[in-house]
Structure 1
Amino acid sequence: MRGRVLLYVSLVANGLLAAGWWWTWRQVRPAEAVSHSAATAVTAPTLTRTNILPRRQFFHWSEIESDDYATYVANLRAIGCPEQTIRDIIIADVNALYARRRATEVQTSQQQWWRAVPDPELEARAQARLEALEAERRELLTRLLGPQWETGDQISLPRPSRPGVALDGPILGLLPPETKQQVQEIYTHYQDQLAAYRERLAAEQRAPDPAELLRLQRQMEQELARVLAPAQLEEFLLRYSDTAEALRRELAELRWLELTPDQFRALFHARRRFEQGLADLAQADSPASALQRQQLEQQYEQALRLALGEELFRQYQRLQDPDYREAVDEARQAGQPELADTLYAIRRALAEEQVRLETNTALTALQKAIEWKRLELEALKARAEALGEPPLPEPAPPPPPMRAHTYRAGETLISLAVEYDVPLSAILRANPGLDFQRLKPGDTILIPVPSQ
């Protein structure tokens, strides 16, 4: 049933049989010598008693193995298994059992390949379940082998020199161990080839060739197709292929586009076809190839439209604009995601006014700065009104322009007010720190310029 367990028990059984044969040979050989030396003197045959109890040389594994681990251990001891061998057999069996349980009972973020950003609640539940299974495994081994079972653990769990990919879930988690090992080796070989290719290009200061990258990926897929069924291969590629990773990075940048598994799968296959088409045209630069690239882009856009539907496709297109993504962020933070389009329209209007202002040659730099502040204020008012926030307070009026007057002997505040046609109170407000009772010729008095 289990290759490793059978190997251990076979070694033990063969050792017992060899020991029995050796002991029997030691007993029979002296008897044969005595019988041969007395053959000339005694005519009647002599029977030699060996005192050996016959024992079956073969047994079926079903006589030892048991679903109950305590019985299993007792059966192994009954056939004379050394304690270290029993320990190794039980640890290997329990580890294999819990490896299967981790692969099939725990839902990890890798299994939700359609999500651009992992679900934190799912990750927390997965971590809690993994910790519970590990505690259960250790408790079982302690109960079966005693508290010091780890000190004699010679095989334990696999200890790979480099981490592999998670092959878990209802599709990949049920793969036989041999198939999982093949998949890990194929993927590791692909990663090694990719790293060597990039290292060579870096040394040559050249950019990667998309066609070569795609060739390496397709080569890996062909090798995987020889060991995986079509549904298993698709699951693996949806999780770990470069195409799927690039698609998730794009969706993560868009942030607010949430897809179903079927929608992501449709986008994934459309993108694969698009990438293959571009790779086929990578070395072509004729007018015909330019037309083919344009047709590929149109086909890809149509595939996206069919996969997402009109409303979600429109959202996908708008999210390509950073201004729209910021508008969505702002609307969601305000708890009113339905206002994203309104806030986006305000942003676009402000951007258009900025362009108009920058290209207006009739205004000075100072006038442009003043006008831009006014436009920003209008945009803020529109945003507050859309979100239902209190209106912004009106800014304080700017101070009136002033002119400097040099005081001459004999002048009074009244004469200055008449001379410049401004109220006496305005002159007093413009000079709060000036003592008009102690003016000396040459002192400066600020005079407000009357508005026209």
Structure 2
Amino acid sequence: TNAVERFDWRQVESPDYKEYIARLRGIGCPEQTIRDIIIADVSKLYAEKRAALYNAPKVVRYWQSSETQYTRDNVKYQQAVRALEKEKTELIRELLGVDLRRELAKIYGGEPNFDRSLMFLPPERREPIQEMLDRYRDLERAIYAEADGELNEAQRARVDALRREREAALAAMLSPEELKEYEMTNSRIAREIRGNLNGFDASEQEFLAIYQARQALFDQFGERRRNEDEAT
């Protein structure tokens, strides 16, 4: 009888992901299994890259603000992490032609990890909007990181300009009805109302009535409207 040739996984593995995928397909590996293997491998690679970004907290001297130092370091770290996540997502799309968030949702269950404020949109429309919001959030946090506890006039003007740009970008990406839904989900007033109504199952009409009353008070006393809390 002919000896059965033993399978050696090293014959399939390759440091080149495209070659690795081609070899997996060559041995008849199912597409979903290929996705699972590649996503796990890429995720491990980027977890190592993320770990390399972490720096132990710096020693804060008595004249330095630990909060300011933490904010600056954390902003830089979060920006770098977000860049890695974007790079990983783009690599998976290039290799497998799939959306990483949706694939992870299949593996772990539930919906892809998007902001609650975007859940009313179809999944395929959330990602570009999420990326835009993340970009402006990073820019705003960077300004707060520059401030020594409080924004000066020039920094405040930059924050206000960024928020106007973000609102214009949102308006260009959403219909008027969708924009209203987003604002009702994400505005500071709406978030405060939801917090105050915790445990009370308000109807949409009841929520809108409270929102309109709060908004009228807010406008009457001349407070500056802000769609989001101060960046931290």
TM-score calculated relative to the size of structure 1: 0.30
User: Would the alpha carbon gap of residues 261 and 201 (structure 1) be closer, same or farther in structure 2, given more than 3 Å must change?
Assistant: farther
Does the alignment pair 1:188 with 2:116? no
Q: How far apart are the structure 2 equivalents of 1:264 and 1:279? A: 22
SS of alignment partner, residue 120 of structure 2? coil
Q: Distance in 2 between matches of 1:250 and 1:269?
A: 11
Change (3 A) 1:214 1:99: farther
| 2:130 corresponding residue in structure 1 | 268
Alignment correspondent of 1:315: 181
- Indicate how the Cα distance of structure 1 residues 238 and 224 shifts in structure 2: closer, same or farther if over 3 A, else same: same
Match for 1:305: what amino acid?
A
Instruction: Tell me, in whole angstroms, the C-alpha distance in 2 between the residues paired with 1:234 and 1:248.
Output: 15
Report the equivalent of 1:292.
158
Whether the aligned pair in 1 keeps the contact of 2:140 and 2:159 (CA below 8 Å) is yes
Change (3 A) 1:100 1:298: farther
Q: Which position in structure 2 is the counterpart of 1:76?
A: 3
- Counterpart amino acid of residue 123 in structure 2: P
Once the two structures are superposed, what CA deviation does each residue of 1:171-228 show, in whole Å capped at 9, x if it has no partner?
xx595xxx964x234312233235x43x536999653434312442266369759x93
Q: CA deviation at 1:304?
A: 2.1
Deviations for 1:77-116, whole angstroms, at most 9, x for unmatched residues?
Answer: 4xxx6xxxx4xx28999xx789943x627xxxxxxxxxxx
Give the alignment partner of residue 84 of structure 2, picking from 195, 220, 230: 220
Computed over aligned residues only, the root mean square deviation of the Cα atoms, in angstroms, reads 5.0
Q: Deviations over 1:298-328 (max 9, x none)?
A: 1112222232321121112112314369699
Question: Counterparts of 1:250 and 1:218 in 2: how far apart (Å)?
Answer: 15
Distance 2:86 2:207 in 1: 46
- Separation in 1 of the partners of 2:83 and 2:209? 50
Cα distance 1:259–1:185, how it changes in 2: closer, same or farther (>3 A)?
A: same
Contact 1:238 1:268 in 2 (8 A): no
**Is 1:305 equivalent to 2:171 in the alignment?**
yes
Distance 1:344 1:297, change over 3 A: same
Which whole-Å CA distance do the structure 2 matches of 1:228 and 1:345 have between them?
43
Q: Quick one: structure 1 residues 345 and 294, their matched pair in 2 at CA, closer, same or farther if it must change by over 3 Å?
A: closer
Shift in alpha-carbon separation, 1:201–1:299, aligned structure 2, 3 A: same
Matched, 1:278 2:140: yes
Deviation of the 1:273 alpha carbon: 2.6
The percentage of aligned residue pairs carrying the same residue is: 12
Distance 1:348 1:276 in 2: 29
Q: Distance in 1 between matches of 2:157 and 2:210?
A: 36
What is the CA distance between 1:287 and its match in structure 2?
Answer: 2.9
- Report how far residue 229 of structure 1 moved: 7.4
Structure showing greater relative contact order (alpha-carbon pairs closer than 8 Å, 6 or more residues apart): 2
Paired residues for 1:129-278 under 5 Å: 168=35, 181=41, 183-193=42-52, 196-197=54-55, 200=57, 206=67, 207-209=70-72, 210-217=74-81, 220=84, 228=91, 231=94, 235-236=99-100, 248=113, 250-251=115-116, 257-278=119-140
Shift of the 218–264 alpha-carbon distance from structure 1 to 2, 3 Å rule, reads closer
Number of aligned residue pairs: give it.
178
Match of 1:262, as an amino acid? E
Check the 8 A contact 2:79/2:138 in 1, yes or no: no
Query: Hey, what's the Cα distance between the residues in 1 that align with 2:114 and 2:92?
Result: 27
Contact 1:263 1:308 in 2 (8 A): no
- For residues 19-34 of structure 1, what are the structure 2 equivalents within 5 Å? none
User: Which AA in structure 1 matches 2:91?
Assistant: L
Which structure's CA Rg is the greater one?
1
State the Cα deviation string for residues 12-34 of structure 1 (Å, max 9, x = none).
xxxxxxxxxxxxxxxxxxxxxxx
The C-alpha deviation readout for 1:367-388, integer Å capped at 9, x for no partner, is xxxxxxxxxxxxxxxxxxxxxx
What runs of 5+ residues in structure 2 fail to find an aligned partner?
Answer: 12-23, 105-111, 218-232
For the residues of structure 2 that align with 1:312 and 1:283, how far apart are their CA atoms?
Answer: 34
Checking the alignment, whether the CA contact within 8 Å between 1:238 and 1:265 is kept in structure 2 is: no
